[in-house]
Amino acid sequence: MKNKQNLTSVFSLFSTGVTIITNGTSKKEYFGCTVNSFTSLSLDPPQFLFCLGNENENLKSFKIKSPVNVNILSKSQENLSNKFAGDLLNRWDGVSFSIAKNKVPFF
Ligand SMILES: Cc1cc2nc3c(=O)[nH]c(=O)nc-3n(C[C@H](O)[C@H](O)[C@H](O)COP(=O)(O)O)c2cc1C
């Protein structure tokens, strides 16, 4: 436990942006996960990458064939960040969002 706390302190020294990756094009398929492993890769072709932990429960609900939206969070969206890093069953409860042209939710 002490090692885990130490690791958290070390990791927190590295500042990153925080995103919520969303995908799924129908209500029963919606996926959302707080992710700071997002980074830009190239402009031409336009590419980015992010990592989802192999052991994460929510990886099972990521829809490989669905488009993806990257929601770049501001400081005022810390609650949203915590919600989408928390209990998988309650992530979308009480959250307001819109649907993008690609049919995937965005904040
Ligand atoms: C600020 C922040 C950044 C995170 N970045 C990532 C990430 O890049 N990749 C990832 O798989 N999980 C990341 N997580 C963890 C997930 O949001 C989530 O907590 C985790 O998937 C829950 O595990 P579970 O699906 O096994 O319940 C991050 C959490 C926080 C709070």
pLDDT, one tens digit per residue, over 37-94 is: 999 999 999 999 999 999 888 888 898 899 999 999 999 999 999 999 999 888 999 9
DSSP state at residue 53 = -
Q: Is the CB of 52 under 6 A from ligand 1?
A: yes
Tell me, using a 6 A CB cutoff, whether residue 33 lines ligand 1: yes
> The pTM is what?
0.92
Helix (H, G, I), strand (E, B) or coil at 20: strand
Measured distance CA(57)–CA(54) in Å, rounded: 9
Cα 102 to averaged position of ligand 1 atoms, centre (Å): 24
Q: What is the pLDDT of residue 78?
A: 96
CA 33 to CA 23: how far, in whole Å? 9
In the chain, the domains with their CATH numbers are 16-87 (2.30.110.10)
Q: Among all chains, which residue has been given the structure tokens 């302190």? A: 9
Q: Is 56 in the pocket of ligand 1 (CB under 6 A)?
A: yes
Residues 6+ apart with CB under 8 A from 24: 30, 31, 61, 63, 66, 104, 105
Measured from the CB, is residue 35 less than 6 Å from ligand 1?
A: yes
Q: Which two tokens stand for residue 106?
A: 């965005």
SS3 58: helix
pLDDT at 34 over 70: yes
d(CA 74, CA 72): 7
Q: What is the DSSP letter of 66?
A: S
Question: 33 CA distance to ligand 1 centroid (A)?
Answer: 6
Structure confidence at residue 41 (pLDDT): 97
